[in-house]
Chains A and B, each alone.
Chain A
Amino acid sequence: MTRSLQPGRLNPLDVVRLAGYGLRARPLRMVLSALGIAIGIAAMVAVVGISASSRAQLDQLLDSLGTNLLTAGPGSTLFGEEATLPDESVAMVGRIRLVETVTAIGQLPDAKVYRTDKIPVPQSGGIGVYAVRTDLLETVGATVATGTWLNNATAQYPSVVLGAKTAERIGIGAIYEDTQIWLGGRWFTVIGILDPVPLVSRLDLGALIGWEAGRRYLGFDGDITTLYIRTNPDAVESVRGLLARTINPARPNEVDVSRPSDALAAQAAAKTTFTGLLLGLGAVALLVGGIGVANTMVISVLERRTEIGLRRSLGATRGHIRVQFLTEALLLSVLGGGAGILLGSGVTAVYATLQGWPTVVPAWVMAGGITSTLMIGGVAGLYPALRAARVAPAEVLATT
């Protein structure tokens, strides 16, 4: 017979089995307290997932649109007056090495667009009329939804291509041979409608006519409103640095150069502030869930004093009892956390699918979710476990 008194070791599998038994004994309570954790985790996973999905969609969009589009427009002079771009600027920019294409549009501020000539003058709908060059489409990455784009012939005559919102606003869905609109005091034939142009959203609410047609029928003076420049993708920054001086060597400060893809990215960044707030709300839900687990475990310890006493009589040390209840709390939280991750991913998938985005739930969120539930379970289970270990076996076994 051995004369040393070494307690037996509890196999980790047995510890998990014990914890599982404790939870199975009261299934409804287990589900309800796990639900608290699940909701918190689901909220955080969904918030991060949805914002990641939206970013993935933006990345895809930028990928397809390209980030190598630059715009240059006349800014204002030092004295605050509106500046203009010199006529030769298109040709000058075109001579910069690494510029792939360059095109210009000119706004006709006095021309208004109406569905017919019967519509009262004030109801112009805020639609802008632009004289454009035929290479606008490929430079800004726009596509035609229905009809055709302007060509060298139609650009000479009263033909117009509508932006996506323009078509919607004046009520043109399909194009027939005789579809016409009242533009600048005369009839123009509608030959095409564009898809939305994410990088140049002003075109969406525009009516586009040929450069020549503008001069010929509407008294367009050829002033350039904006230049669109597509550069070699690796040379965007260096071209950007050269643009102002190339376009207006005398007063480079009067030229506004920008990169439309930056604006889209900035929009996305603005959304992350909101994400932070929602994450905070998720964290509060998680905290409340953790308190629920602690509460459940405290009650469980009170109810199971006899079981604890019995286990002590079977030779369980205080450590065995502590580990059993701590593991039970951890298991409870992890079950909740696992359900929360599934729920949050599901919500993300549904939302992203409805928005037509790719579904992205970053791995770090899942890892973070499990880690935080483990931490919460540990903290929530610590006090109940300590209490369970302090139960005096003689008292609880004698009273029943």
Chain B
Amino acid sequence: MSNLPEAFITLRGVRREYPGGVVALNGVDLDIDRGELVAIIGPSGSGKTTMLNVMGTLDRPSDGQVVIDGFNVAELSDTELSALRAFRIGFVFQHFHLAPGVSALDNVADGLLYTGTSIHERRERAEAALRRVGLGHRLTHRPHEISGGEKQRTAIARAVVREPELLLADEPTGALDSHSGEDVMRVLLDLHETGTTIVVITHEHVVATRLPRQVSMLDGRVVDDRMEILA
């Protein structure tokens, strides 16, 4: 299944070494196709988050090749990488990172801030995105007024309001109870249905096993990559 021409993400011999000699990624080869829904699973310290940062162009590898949507990351300037993120990649973080004191609508609308969209259109699309994650009734609520699951769904709405082709989620259910986690998973599965490529990082097997493909990591290497045909 690797080396398919329609791969959206291609990692070749990717190595990421931090100052001080810590090797977070140690020669990773991986291809993720358009429209896939992939879990990256591993214990803490296995390099999952570094992998996500490298895929999301927030970090550059020390060595190896990263190609995102046909763009070789090594050949792009910092500004071009920013544009790549603005138009093609959405992020979801474990701790949501919502702006306090700002309504859910405006938090989501900020997802379009760096795409050159007018404020009117930003708000319109933010409302649609919030309805899409089932938060049509929370538009004017501020982060401290909504539950953890709703916060994460707001963060997902912010990530997808740009309609990115790739959604990267770092432990999206890690800070949530199982019920809220379930809501969030359902939203991710729905997005997958509509064709978004999604990579979910998790250390929970329960979460990983619900996704069609699971990439296991240990000590900065991919140790297992299995595809399951879900019923």
Contact = CB atoms under 8 A, between A and B. Distances in A.
A316 B114 contact: yes
Given A21-B99, A397-B93, A313 B58 contact: yes
A54 interface: no
B118 A11 contact: yes
B227 interface: no
Contacts of A117: none
Interface string A273-304: 00000000000000000000000000000000
Given A7-B114, A8-B114, A320-B114, A25 B101 contact: yes
Interface in B101-115: 101-102, 110-111, 113-115
Contacts of A67: none
Interface residues of A, number: 34
A173 to B, nearest CB: 67
Interface in B57-83: 58-59, 70-71, 76, 78-83
Contacts, number: 102
B86 A7 contact: yes
A317 interface: yes
Contacts of B81: 5
A123 interface: no
Interface of B: 49-50, 53, 56, 58-59, 70-71, 76, 78-87, 91, 93, 95, 97, 99-102, 110-111, 113-119, 158, 162
Contact of A315 (B53, B70, B101, B114): B114
B37 to A, nearest CB: 20
B97 A310 contact: yes
A185 interface: no
Contacts of A18: 113
B221 to A, nearest CB: 19
Contacts of B71: 5
B114 A394 contact: no
A394 B61 CA distance: 12
Given A8-B115, A306-B97, A315 B49 contact: no
A204 B78 CA distance: 80
Interface in A361-394: 392-394
B113 A317 contact: no
Contacts of A310: 93, 97
A319 interface: yes
Contact of B76 (A5, A14, A312, A315): A5
Contacts of A313: 56, 58, 85, 91
Interface string A2-24: 01011111110110001001001
Contacts of A319: 79
Contacts of A393: 53, 58-59
Contacts of A320: 82, 114
Given A310-B97, A312-B85, 20 more contacts: A5-B80, A8-B83, A8-B114, A8-B117, A10-B114, A14-B113, A14-B119, A25-B100, A306-B97, A307-B97, A307-B99, A311-B114, A313-B56, A314-B91, A315-B83, A315-B87, A315-B114, A315-B162, A317-B79, A318-B82
B208 to A, nearest CB: 20
B116 A8 contact: yes
Nearest to B59: A394
A393 B93 CA distance: 13
15 contacts: A7-B82, A7-B83, A9-B116, A11-B118, A13-B119, A21-B99, A314-B86, A314-B114, A315-B114, A316-B82, A317-B78, A392-B59, A394-B50, A397-B97, A400-B95
A312 B82 contact: yes
B115 A315 contact: yes
B210 to A, nearest CB: 25
Given A9-B116, A398-B49, A318 B58 contact: no
Given A5-B71, A25-B100, A314 B85 contact: yes
Contact of A394 (B58, B76, B78, B119): B58
A318 B111 contact: no
A318 B78 contact: yes
Nearest to A315: B86
Contacts of B158: 314
A394 B79 contact: no
B79 A318 contact: yes
Interface in A1-55: 3, 5-11, 13-14, 18, 21, 24-25
Contacts of B80: 5, 7
A238 B111 CA distance: 79
Contacts of A6: 83
